[in-house]
Copies of this chain bind each other. A is one copy, B any other.
Amino acid sequence: MTTWLENAWYVAAWDSEVDSTPLARTICGVPMMMYRKLDRAVVAMRDACPHRMLPLSMGLREGDSIRCKYHGLKLGPDGVAQEMPLTGERVNTRICAETFVTHERHRFVWVWIGDKDKADPALIPDLWPCSANGWTFDGGYYHVACDYRLMIDNLMDLTHETYVHSGSIGQPEILEAPLECKTEGDTVYLWRWMPAIEAPPFWRGALKQDCPVDRWQICQFLLPSSVMIDVGVAPVGAGATLENHDQGVRGMVVDFMTPESETTHHYFWGMARNFDVDDAGFTARFKAQQGGVFAEDKEILEAQQNAIQANPDLKLNAYSIDQGGVRARKIIEKAIRRQQEANR
């Protein structure tokens, strides 16, 4: 039994990370390699030649196929052996590499982990701000040496900013609004609504006017492993509500945590926004700043993972500030249990 849900889509890479040269990455415990065919579609294949198991990511691309670097076994994008050079024998087409269903959406390459027949792109988590009209989206990648759920805990909790990010975005005064939390189906919401406050410098600049604002921070956890944080401000009186707040400027911190192993994960982070969308300089500066903030989280989370392993007699405790992560973990756990029962 794994700590992650199967029969689900996981982000395997940024779309820009995958090209004709194979990219090796272990997803949910499975070594994979990915490359683009001539039509740009993404192939994901077990990163082991079905012949002698050399990583196929060391191989050479030929058209849409990959040729193993060891004996030259050529596999099609469907993983089926096409050619074994120099043997004088017909290639055995039953020898093939496992492939994985992929789909591109929201600037990410998604891979389906589980039963292929169930791989429906409609099940991809709706990270809509990454590809909505009038929005722009960019971000980065970190390999983080901790259980992916520790990152979910981190993102579903806005309190830690004061301490972890004291040198960057931590601002105790903006965190005084009460936290609210609710679960809707398999989605958890955690939010703060800060009505009629003075806009902090970042948002004042984005709004391009100096007036009292309503401000919000809304974290949303989605199965199997993503968190979107809706942040922004709107002028007081513009009619922004918790449900509907496109009256001002709005950003979405989008995070996807893909398990690599029980104690490591791939962290895809980004920021979508509906203002200054054509300002590439803003994007670059913002990305550099966000990268720095998430590097602070990475340091904390890896130390936390080490401490968990060094103190096997202790366990994580939760306060009310942790309710977002606690609810998200429960939803993951329940979904895993549902699936196990369905498989019996």
Give residues in A with beta carbon < 8 Å to B.
Answer: 26, 31, 46-48, 50-55, 58, 67-72, 84-89, 92, 95, 153, 157, 159-160, 162-164, 172, 175-176, 178-179, 300, 303-304, 306-308, 310-311, 314, 316-322
Contact = CB atoms under 8 A, between A and B. Distances in A.
9 contacts: A31-B311, A52-B153, A52-B322, A55-B306, A70-B164, A70-B300, A72-B163, A84-B321, A88-B320
A58 B162 contact: no
Nearest to A69: B163
Contacts of A300: 54, 58, 69-70
Nearest to A95: B317
Given A70-B300, A72-B162, A53 B321 contact: no
Given A157-B71, A175-B86, A316 B52 contact: yes
A95 to B, nearest CB: 6
Given A69-B300, A86-B176, A178-B88, A31 B319 contact: no
B314 A53 contact: yes
Contacts of A176: 86
A178 to B, nearest CB: 6
Listed residue (A50, A70, A72, A303) with the most chain B CB atoms within 10 angstroms of its CB:
A70
Given A87-B159, A303-B58, A26 B321 contact: no
A153 B70 CA distance: 12
A50 to B, nearest CB: 6
A48 B314 contact: yes
Given A31-B311, A54-B303, A162-B85, A321 B71 contact: yes
B320 A87 contact: yes
Contact of A310 (B31, B50, B153, B311): B31
A162 B253 CA distance: 49
A162 B86 contact: yes
A163 to B, nearest CB: 5
A137 to B, nearest CB: 29
Contact of A311 (B46, B153, B314): B46
Nearest to A47: B307
Contacts of A159: 71-72, 85-87
Contacts of A87: 159, 319-321
Given A72-B159, A319-B84, A48 B307 contact: yes
Given A52-B304, A87-B159, A69 B164 contact: yes
A316 B73 CA distance: 14
A176 B310 CA distance: 48
A303 B159 CA distance: 44
A321 B83 CA distance: 13
